[in-house]
Amino acid sequence: MARLVSRGLARLVALLLTTSLAVAGLAVAVFSIQGGTSTLSLPGLARHLGLDELEGTVGSFLSELEGDGPAATVAALAGAGAVLIGLLLLFGVLARRRERLVVIRSDDDGTIAARPRAVGQAARTLGEQPRNVLHAKARTTPRRRGAGGRLRLTAYHARSTDQAAVTAATRVRVQELAESLSLRVHVRGRVPRRGARVS
């Protein structure tokens, strides 16, 4: 869970930082076209951003930071928080992502497992065996803990074919595989979109 949160946070921060950096770089480039105190000069950019007023606003706060007092305490807490967020971001960036496997059996002697992609391919092969199925798509999600997982199979069929019959036939085909891997199966039938490839 912590890894998911930190990974998501790291992606969001990376997106925001790169976007702001790009915008800032573009602004500096545009405001470097002219020199002196012209409109498109760096002093002009400082005027647009109101840096003089900003200095007046935060100047007293910055002075307070230099001495003891409530502002220094707040700044220390904010600094500690920034360090923690930084560590979380580092964890999100550097933590290795490990693909979960569909565990078939696990004991002290080791684990027997299958990769979701392999299970999906097998389920797809089985799901396409009924004659009225044009094409099948499978998605396997292993359980976070313990054996088994979930298999979602979509069977594409012709518009003229009975959807319930297709679903039932497909379910029968994958039942044995699902039971041997302790998978919960969800089968649905669909008619392919007009013009979509079916094989």
Residues that bind other proteins (CB under 8 A): 101, 104-105, 108-115, 117-118, 121-122, 125, 180-181
Smallest distance, other proteins to C-beta of residue 17, A: 29
- The smaller minimum CB distance to other proteins, of residues 11 and 117, is found at 117
Six-digit token string for 135: 């094409």
Cβ contacts of residue 136 below 8 Å, gap of 6+?
Answer: 123, 124, 127, 128, 153, 154, 155, 156, 170
Question: Residues 24, 27, 32, CA angle at the centre, nearest 5°?
Answer: 125
- State which residue, 41 or 135, has the beta carbon closest to other proteins: 135
Tracing tokens 């998978």 back to the chain, one arrives at 183
The CB-of-139 to other proteins minimum distance in angstroms stands at 16
CB of 25 to other proteins, least distance (A): 35
Cβ-based nearer residue to other proteins, 42 or 143 = 143
Cβ-based nearer residue to other proteins, 136 or 166: 136
